[in-house]
């Protein structure tokens, strides 16, 4: 097998031997992978593991993102989405509007709603519990992947509940799993600069641990391409790998490329295509206990996401429909990609598209009535 692989970077030789021998990689191996200019060799190794696990399959889903509010007290430097309550563009949806949006999602065939929002200073925890209960009642067949560890930490604070009781209340209301956002980079030096008022890295991990302990799966992310070092990236990935060894509760990992526009870090350059493909490949190589690595097309662009399917990724994420977090930060991608287009992107990359639910069970559309065409009607907003 190794004869097929040409490695130009001598530092990668021992890492390649470990990968091909099925050995777990170390911190130093991770740093060597990030530091290597030999992107094709790193990508080849990641693709080797990806094909061993998933063959030619590439997953996607039909989903809809819903952001109930962008009002946020955290004021993270990395973020262009959050607003003060009285700032221009601040919004909070009435529950009825969210439910209508969701019902439209059901008509379009969504199997998942991805719900995340700001840390609102005045909305009580009950608003979010009512939101979830209402969604479950109206759209019982749709998986609710809702609220990051950061939001869960905030709900616990405002409702004076323990993390466990907060998660149990969300689960009881109908939350099915948690998305992976808010992890950023766990290292305190970085967090102090990019997201000073968020839960710490340790708290993020503890909330994920508690979620997994009560039976809620979650995803995990890493925000790269701002002020973090390669060592801090590897430390982040290895912290996730250790927790996964303990709980097996993570479903997918999504490396997230930093978008600087309109943020407090707008002076930083954008990550490049090289950084993006490296992030996908290194995560596949280090996270040997994560089944799924997502190439989130909104953040990578469909072009890079397609290439990422040969650099370790086995999932393209979903149709999304409406995306605010990246578009407020200058993303130029579309907000919606129809399933036919996702399937085409996947096929052109030589992979076999498989529609999945949030927990990666294949969905057979031949047994479900066809969805109605997408409506572009926008709903009004209450402030
Ligand atoms: O939590 C915020 C990041 C996340 C910026 O779990 C930014 O399936 C780049 O978590 N530039 C939201 N990133 C996105 C997210 C996600 C996306 C797709 C799938 C899943 C999943 C999760 O985006 C935030 C934060 O980490 N973010 N601002 C920015 N300016």
Q: How many residues comprise the chain?
A: 383
Q: What average pLDDT does this structure show over 117-133?
A: 98
Q: Which residues' Cβ are closer than 6 Å to ligand 1?
A: 78-80, 148, 179-182, 184, 219, 221, 223, 254, 256, 258-259, 263, 296, 317, 325, 329
CA distance to 119, 291, 323, 361, per residue, from 352 (Å): 39, 17, 26, 15
Q: 18 C-alpha to center of ligand 1: Å?
A: 32
Tell me the C-alpha distance between 212 and 244, whole Å: 10
Output the average pLDDT for the chain: 94
Name the residue of 181, 295, 317 whose CB sits within 8 Å of the most ligand 1 atoms, as the mutation to test its pocket.
Answer: 181
- CA–CA gap between residue 315 and residue 299 (Å, rounded): 14
182 alpha carbon to ligand 1 midpoint, in Å? 7
The secondary structure of residue 80, as a DSSP letter, is S
Q: Whose CA is nearest to atom 21 of ligand 1?
A: 179
pLDDT of res. 7: 87
Question: What is the spatial distance between Cα 49 and Cα 62, in angstroms, rounded to a whole number?
Answer: 26
Between the CA of 3 and the centroid of ligand 1 the distance, in Å, is 39
Give, as one character, the DSSP assignment of residue 290: -
User: What kind and span of H or E run contains 70?
Assistant: none
State the closest ligand 1 atom to the C-alpha of 180, by its place in the atom list counted from 1: 6
- Ligand 1 closest atom vs CA 219: 6
Q: What is the pLDDT of residues 200-255, one digit of tens each?
A: 999 999 999 999 999 999 999 999 999 999 999 999 999 999 999 999 999 999 99
**Distinct helix (H) and strand (E) counts, the chain:** 14, 10
How many A from CA of 225 to the centre of ligand 1? 13
Ligand 1 atom with the smallest distance to the CA of 182 is: 1
pLDDT value of position 372: 63
From 63, 112, 218, 221, the mutation candidate for ligand 1 (largest count of ligand atoms within 8 A of CB) is 221
Please tell me the residue having the least CA distance from ligand 1 atom 12. Answer: 181
What is the distance between the terminal CA atoms of the chain, rounded to a whole angstrom?
60
Indicate the SS3 state at residue 310.
coil
| pLDDT (tens digit per residue) in 60-71 | 999 999 999 999
- Please say whether the beta carbons of 263 and 79 come within 8 A: yes
Using alpha carbons, list the distances in angstroms from residue 233 to 80, 167, 222, 298, 316: 22, 28, 8, 22, 22
Q: How many CB atoms lie within 10 A of CB 172?
A: 11
Task: Give tens-digit pLDDT for 275-312.
Answer: 999 999 999 999 999 999 999 999 999 999 999 999 99
Which ligand 1 atom sits nearest the alpha carbon of residue 221?
10
């Amino acid at each position: 097998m190794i004869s097929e692989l040409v490695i130009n970077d001598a530092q990668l030789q021992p890492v390649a031997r470990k990968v091909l021998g099925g050995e777990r990689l170390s911190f130093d191996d991770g740093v060597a992978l990030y530091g290597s200019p030999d992107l094709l060799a790193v990508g080849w190794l990641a693709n080797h593991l990806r094909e061993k696990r998933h063959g030619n399959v590439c997953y996607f889903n039909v989903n809809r993102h819903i952001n109930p509010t962008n009002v946020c007290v955290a004021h993270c430097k990395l973020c262009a989405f959050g607003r003060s309550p009285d700032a221009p563009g601040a919004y909070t949806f009435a529950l009825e509007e969210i439910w209508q949006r969701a019902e439209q999602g059901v008509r379009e065939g969504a199997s998942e709603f991805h719900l995340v929002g700001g840390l609102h200073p005045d909305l009580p925890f009950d608003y979010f519990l009512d939101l979830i209960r209402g969604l479950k009642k109206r759209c019982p067949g749709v998986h609710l992947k809702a609220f990051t560890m950061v939001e869960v930490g905030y709900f616990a604070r405002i409702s004076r509940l323990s993390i466990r009781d907060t998660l149990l209340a969300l689960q009881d209301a109908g939350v099915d799993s948690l998305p992976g956002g808010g992890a950023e980079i766990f290292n305190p030096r970085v967090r102090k600069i990019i997201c000073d008022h968020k839960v710490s890295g340790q708290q993020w991990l503890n909330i994920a641990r508690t979620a997994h302990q009560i039976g809620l799966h979650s995803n995990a992310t890493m925000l790269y391409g701002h002020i973090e070092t390669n060592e801090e990236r590897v430390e982040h990935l290895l912290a996730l790998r250790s927790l996964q060894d303990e709980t097996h509760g993570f479903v997918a990992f999504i490396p997230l490329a930093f978008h600087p526009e309109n943020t407090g870090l707008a002076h930083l350059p954008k990550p490049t295509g090289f950084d993006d493909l490296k992030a996908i490949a290194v995560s596949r190589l280090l996270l040997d206990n994560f089944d799924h690595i997502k190439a989130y097309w909104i953040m990578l662009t469909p072009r890079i996401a397609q290439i990422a399917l040969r650099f370790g990724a086995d999932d393209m994420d979903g149709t999304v429909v409406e995306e605010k977090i990246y578009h407020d930060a200058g993303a130029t991608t579309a907000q919606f990609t129809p399933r036919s287009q996702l399937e085409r992107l996947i096929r052109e990359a030589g992979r076999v598209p498989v529609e999945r639910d949030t927990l990666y069970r294949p969905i057979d559309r031949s047994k479900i009535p066809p969805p109605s065409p997408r409506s572009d009607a926008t709903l009004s907003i209450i402030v």
